[in-house]
Copies of this chain bind each other. A is one copy, B any other.
Amino acid sequence: MNKPVDTNSGLSRRGLLTAAGGLAIAAGAIGAGGMAAADRFTRRDQPASPASMVEPFYGVHQSGIVTPQQTHSIFATFDLDTSTRADVITLLKRWTDAANRMSRGETAQPLGQPKDAPALDGGSAAGLAAARLTITFGFGPGLFTRDGVDRYGLAARRPEALVDLPKFNGDQLIAEKSDGDLSIQACADDPQVAFHALRELLNLATGIATIKWVQSGFTSPPPAGGTTRNLMGFKDGTNNPSTHDNDLMSKMLWVGDEGGWMKAGSYVVVRRIRIALEHWDKTELGFQEEVVGRDKAVGAPLGKTHETDPLDLDAEDQDGNPVIPATAHSRLSSAAENDGSQILRRAYSFNDGVGFYAERWPPWRQGMMLDAGLFFVAYQRDPRTGFIRINKKLASLDIMNQYTTHVGSGIFACPPGAAEGSFIGAALFEGLTG
């Protein structure tokens, strides 16, 4: 209409921040016709996001695994529509480049296209900081074979550890919240930054992959520090393995030489766990603590004083009953009860409004209840000796199951990090022909 062809370089995220924060002159310097001179809004040599807000994308491992947890998460899976391996590689290269750019607080693609073309970045994160955005990619079983078909000549490279999850006792999985050929988890300290990342990656997948499901979540660290609480009101993560313990991480988190192209990667299992929060909130405090096996206020194991006191699984009370009940969640999920198995949890709470549910307890009320709970995310070197072993026990014995229902599920091989100039999963495709 009234405007000449222009560029939308003015949407550069870093540039806008710089302009607003430090260059008051910039706004006044825009031409009267509404044209923004690209160099006034982009200052490539001066990232506007403090370094503390940037989590590097390239590296030995993917970011978003041992990265200190951000406050917001969006997990999404995609199904591949294409019939060619070349398309899959194209998509992974696009995603790699965009993820690296966005993690630095930049637009998904370099701008500069004319106004009569779709924007190369939708702009919904313009002016926002990098916010410690991480984007973690995963490969589901469907990348290797789907319905028995080896679509991309990758079937022989499916890792042994990328098993199909067994059906666990109590599972009520729905297809609309489960599985997928590819997974993306975008985490950031700003929900709009995380959602922007998902949308840009979604746009880049057009014609190659279709989005299957999405799960958002949040976690709120106490301002004064310490362990965060989950929606059950208990501290959650006290016994999580320390990501600062490199030896431990090499042992239980990162894939080693056994993994071939997956070396330095990890496997993620996600579970959408609905919690009957109304029921939980009406449960006696003492019983809640028996369910968890911990004191609610402090987080100490029952019978102990401090949050970080180790669980004493042998302790008995004066009547000879275990102090931490046999059915307590913290007992059953402990390494000691699972042949030493450990997983790195990186879960988020979710709040998806309400749904129509039937209670499992008297008087079996039916009606609108919260559709909220825990989006469980756990990384490990091998799910067979990690999540699967632990959850088999929990699914059968954990008294917390009275309140929790697993309604969504997925398992994904998260390849190692990409080196600059390469792309996520490059090693998987090395040496393939045809």
Instruction: Give the interface of A toward B (CB within 8 A).
Output: 1-3, 6, 8-11, 16-17, 20-21, 27, 30-32, 34, 36, 41, 48, 71-72, 74, 113, 115-119, 122-129, 190-193, 195, 199, 202-203, 206, 210-216, 218-220, 222-226, 229-234, 277-278, 280-286, 288-290, 295-298, 300, 302-306, 317, 321, 323, 325, 349, 351-354, 367-370, 372
Contact call A36/B298, Cβ cutoff below 8 A = yes
Instruction: Name the distance in Å between A85's Cβ and chain B's nearest Cβ.
Output: 23
Contact A297:B10 (CB < 8 A) given known A203-B281, A353-B215: yes
Instruction: Name the distance in Å between A306's Cβ and chain B's nearest Cβ.
Output: 6
Q: Which B residues are in CB contact (< 8 Å) with A351? A: 74, 191, 195, 214, 216
Partner of A304, one of B34, B36, B119, B225: B34
Inter-chain CA distance A123–B296, complex, in Å, is 8
Q: Which B residues are in CB contact (< 8 Å) with A290? A: 1
Instruction: Name the distance in Å between A87's Cβ and chain B's nearest Cβ.
Output: 18
Q: Which B residues are in CB contact (< 8 Å) with A74? A: 351
Q: Which B residues are in CB contact (< 8 Å) with A71? A: 191
Inter-chain CA distance A283–B115, complex, in Å, is 10
Which of A203, A232, A351 gathers the greatest number of chain B CB atoms within 10 Å? Answer: A351
Q: Which B residues are in CB contact (< 8 Å) with A191? A: 71-72, 191, 218, 220, 351
Inter-chain CA distance A405–B202, complex, in Å, is 21
Contact call B192/A219, Cβ cutoff below 8 A = yes
Instruction: Name the distance in Å between A173's Cβ and chain B's nearest Cβ.
Output: 16
Contact call B297/A8, Cβ cutoff below 8 A = yes
Contact call A306/B123, Cβ cutoff below 8 A = no
Inter-chain CA distance A116–B296, complex, in Å, is 14
Contact call A284/B34, Cβ cutoff below 8 A = no
Contact A303:B220 (CB < 8 A) given known A27-B298, A118-B284, A203-B281: no
Instruction: Name the distance in Å between A216's Cβ and chain B's nearest Cβ.
Output: 6
Which of A284, A286, A323 gathers the greatest number of chain B CB atoms within 10 Å? Answer: A286
